[in-house]
Amino acid sequence: MTPESSTGSQPQGEQDETLPPPTGTLFLLMLYIMAMAGMWLSIYFEFIGR
């Protein structure tokens, strides 16, 4: 079996690509976490007040 016919190997040139940092994904994730924390805190204080 030759190295070109194997499915698991990639040429060396394709591994050198650099991906941009996922700033949009991190921003949306932080918005989601802040919204979840805000909803949790509002319900928490609603129960504490009763």
Please compute the mean of the pLDDT values over residues 18-32 and round it to a whole number.
92
Angstrom CA distances, 27 to 18, 20, 23, stand at 21, 14, 6
Q: Is 20 exposed, middle or buried (0-12, 13-18, 19+ CB in 10 A)?
A: exposed
- Whole-number pLDDT of residue 47: 95
Give the chain's radius of gyration (CA, Å): 24
pTM for the structure as a whole: 0.55
Residue 43 has pLDDT above 90, yes or no: yes
Percent of the chain with pLDDT over 90: 52
With a cut of 70, say whether residue 37 has pLDDT above it.
Answer: yes
Tokens of 50: 């009763």
